Amino acid sequence: MVRRLRIPGILVLLLAVMGAARPQAAQQSQPKPRRFLMWKATSPTVTLYLVGSIHVGNSGMYPLPREVESAFAAAKVLTVEINIKNADQAKGIALVQKYGMYGGGDSLGKHISKETSDALDDFCSKHALPRAGMEQLKPWVVAVTIAAISWKEAGEDPNLGIDMHFLNESKEPQRIDELESIESQMALFTNATEEEQQALLVSTLKQRDKLKDLIKRIQMAYLSGDPEALQKILDEQSEMGSKSLTKKLLDDRNLTMAARLDEYLKGKEPAFVVVGAAHIIGEKGVARLLRDKGYKVEQVTLEAK
């Protein structure tokens, strides 16, 4: 089962459970947004564009607004969380096998409640999955598996995510930088406590029957470029899981990301930064952190359509 998971795509999908936005296909009847989840940060020496990424998507998301593509084309550097195209899939799978599986006679059933086990039984039954195969996996890997299956059923594809779109479009002499690594992202989950992993699995199972409605709400917020509406949804989702794990997945990483972007803003190379939308918005988001550092940061308003 582990070998059927896509690495680091599984990490991307797990972030969906913890609050990173994922839209459904845009309907033709929806009006085009006047705003987009893109911010412009300026310093005395350079301009940086910060785009909220959706790590999985579909063709209904494209084409992106002209202003977004123009900002990307003018950048000397494309900066992403990790360069998925260059990620070593075999290494990722090996890490999951080493840190995400039980050994020595241990098993999942010894670490989760009967209620959680029954919910997992129900999910496996409805999706024709071998329940016994889950027993060797730790709770965070099971949560990833459930998330991956659920997003796929909703029509979402990692190959159509916003970050992948720009990675595919990037050409020399534009440089690609990474803010993180597959090892650092994996460590967020392998180092999670027993309680955090169990809470993650419980919240993932609870959302399984509400996924379509959740996607619709996220879609509307994202396509309208409404960070407040999106933040409300993320707050609701974080209440369902482990607050300590959410802090590790979002708030702590935001601080590190903002410090790296501060280095760009002190330089002279125009950069186009694509990170998960949940990292940018809110009182503890990267946009706010850069403002606190003294930079002018404003959400981009598009031309009226």
Q: Where in the chain are the domains?
A: 2-102+138-301
Distance CA 218, CA 220 (A): 6
Q: Which residues pair with 51 in a beta bridge?
A: 38, 274
**pLDDT value at position 233?**
84
CB 205 within 8 A of CB 146: yes
H or E stretch at 80: strand 77-80
Q: What is the CA radius of gyration of the chain?
A: 19
Tell me which residue of 198, 195, 189 sits closest to 115, measured CA to CA. Answer: 198
**pLDDT value at position 268?**
96
One DSSP character per residue, 127-157 reads TT--HHHHTTB-HHHHHHHHHHHHHHHTT-B
CB 54 within 8 A of CB 61: yes
**pLDDT value at position 304?**
56
Q: What are the CA-CA distances from residue 12 to residues 76, 110, 151, 250 (Å)?
A: 26, 27, 11, 13
Q: What is the DSSP letter of 249?
A: I
**pLDDT value at position 211?**
66
Q: Tokens for 33?
A: 């947004």
Residue 35 dihedral angles phi and psi, to the nearest 5° = -120, 160
**pLDDT value at position 240?**
66
CB 295 within 8 A of CB 43: yes
Tell me which residue of 242, 240, 226 sits closest to 282, measured CA to CA. Answer: 226
Q: Tokens for 200?
A: 């993650």
Residue 79 dihedral angles phi and psi, to the nearest 5° = -115, 130
Per DSSP, the three-state class of 76 is: coil
Going residue by residue through the chain (305 aa), what tens digit of pLDDT does each one get? 444 444 444 444 444 333 333 333 333 344 454 678 999 999 999 999 999 987 777 787 788 999 999 999 999 999 999 998 888 878 888 888 888 999 989 999 999 999 999 999 999 999 899 999 999 999 999 998 888 887 778 777 778 888 999 999 999 999 999 999 888 888 888 899 999 999 999 988 988 777 667 766 776 777 778 899 888 888 877 666 688 988 999 999 999 999 999 999 999 999 999 999 999 999 999 999 999 999 999 999 887 55
**pLDDT value at position 229?**
87
